[in-house]
Structure 1
Amino acid sequence: MKNSKLKLNANKTEFIIIGTATQRAKLDGFFPTHILNQSVTPAPSVSNLGVNFDESFNFKQHISKTCRCCFYHIRDLRRIRRFLSVSVAKTIATALVSSRLDYCNSLLYNTANKDIARLQRVQNCLARVVTRSPRFSSSVPLLKSLHWLPVHYRIIFKICTISYQALASKQPTYLNSMLTPARNSRELRSTSSNPLYIPRVKTKAGTRAFSVAAPTLWNSLPVSVKSEGNIVSFRRRLKTYLFNAAYPP
């Protein structure tokens, strides 16, 4: 910036240090630091492409922001619901609320169950509004009638879809490089299912990495789902499989 004769705008400059409280405490003595005569310190959270990253990497702030935004649109939908058909209400709900629940939801894999439950309450509320059901009615039959996957399964759906596309097209390379076939010293019956190698991790946070989450979920899919020849049929078969898992007969 100095060589290009650019000036740093401290008000628009942010950076974040992600780690446990103990790890972050070890770096307290390094801040504030000075860049081009401007004092900057780590921010507790930053926004990148619409996702709020916090210093503990638990996405609590992002989930809170998503819930507030979704409930805002649900309240608006409730006001006009009686003037709409079910199909129109469902389309609006998908466009304004479900799209926000699904946005970058693969980042939420293996986050705290209580945080996923907050997003699930949003979807439950949305289902009651779309179907014009009582406030405290059971949400499970409503979600099933709308053919909506619960939040947890929508996250699995997104990661598996990304994995299929990366394996089929070999793109993007930074994701495809994390999906390597498992190598066994002897032939196993599971070899026919094209399993992927799952790296070993020591912490729960490590299981949230794409390099671990994607192979784990991919290996859990039945061969009939993974062997689909194109993305459209794969998505259809995958949703059917997850729908039966979410709403067992």
Structure 2
Amino acid sequence: MVSSNNVCKLRGYLDRESLEFVVHAFKTTKLDYCNSLYYGLPSKQIQRLQSIQNAAARIISHIHKYDSSTPVLRSLHWLPVQQRVIFKTLVLVYKSQQYGSILHLQELITPYAHSRTLRSSDQSLQVPFTTSAVIQTRAFSVASPKLWNALPYDIRTAASLCIFNSKLKTHLYAIHYN
């Protein structure tokens, strides 16, 4: 991975927009690659990834190493790593449900079959029974239905992927920053 020092050296030569492009190209894309696999990781591991994102935000905003990065993340409209993991997982669920394009994931999640009207009837995916093993609860087949069912109904029923992404990011942003 390109070090933060090398990207910092570019600050004097690039405008903010170009610097943001470079940071996205070399830092955040690597954080986002297959990040739905990070769901359920211990907080210590997530914090290590968060520190990379914080360093990237500090580079763009020209703040010092020990200044708080939360206001910077908020001003850049970046979700923290944990929220990005949830975002990516839910986007995969939406794509597999709406478009059927991700067949191997579509096989892992099953729609919730309602035998009669219950309070849980608004849940749209069935959560498989698991024992309390941490590894099993991190599995996509278990984690994704739980996350999906916890979403508000208007987000789950978004008409397009663009609308879904927008509503979901707004929802996760509000949960974390408010």
Correspondent of 1:80 among 1, 7, 10: 10
TM-score normalised according to structure 1 size: 0.68
Partner of 1:21: none
Correspondent of 1:151 among 69, 77, 81: 81
Residue type of the partner of 1:197? Q
Deviations 1:145-171 (A, max 9, x none): 111110001100110000000001223
- Which structure 2 residues correspond to residues 3-82 of structure 1 after superposition, within 5 A? 69=1, 72=3, 74-82=4-12
1:94 shift after superposition? 0.9
1:218 shift after superposition? 0.4
Structure 2: segments with no counterpart, 5+ residues: none
Structure 1: segments with no counterpart, 5+ residues: 1-68
1:136 corresponds to 2:66: yes
Share of identical aligned residues, percent? 37
1:86 shift after superposition? 1.7
Higher helix share: 2
1:197 corresponds to 2:126: yes
- Whole-Å Cα distance in 2 between the matches of residues 247 and 128 of structure 1? 18
- Whole-Å Cα distance in 2 between the matches of residues 165 and 194 of structure 1? 17
1:75 shift after superposition? 1.6
Partner of 1:89: 19
Deviations 1:127-161 (A, max 9, x none): 11110001110110010011111000110011000
- Whole-Å Cα distance in 2 between the matches of residues 94 and 128 of structure 1? 13
Q: How many residues align?
A: 177
4+ residue runs over 3 A deviation: none
Paired residue secondary structure (1:82): coil
| Mapped contact 2:10–2:19 kept (Cα < 8 A) | no
Q: Identify the structure with bigger relative contact order (alpha carbons < 8 Å, sequence gap 6+).
A: 2
- Which structure 2 residues correspond to residues 150-169 of structure 1 after superposition, within 5 A? 150-169=80-99
1:194 shift after superposition? 4.2
- Whole-Å Cα distance in 1 between the matches of residues 168 and 15 of structure 2? 29
Partner of 1:121: 51
Residue type of the partner of 1:198? V
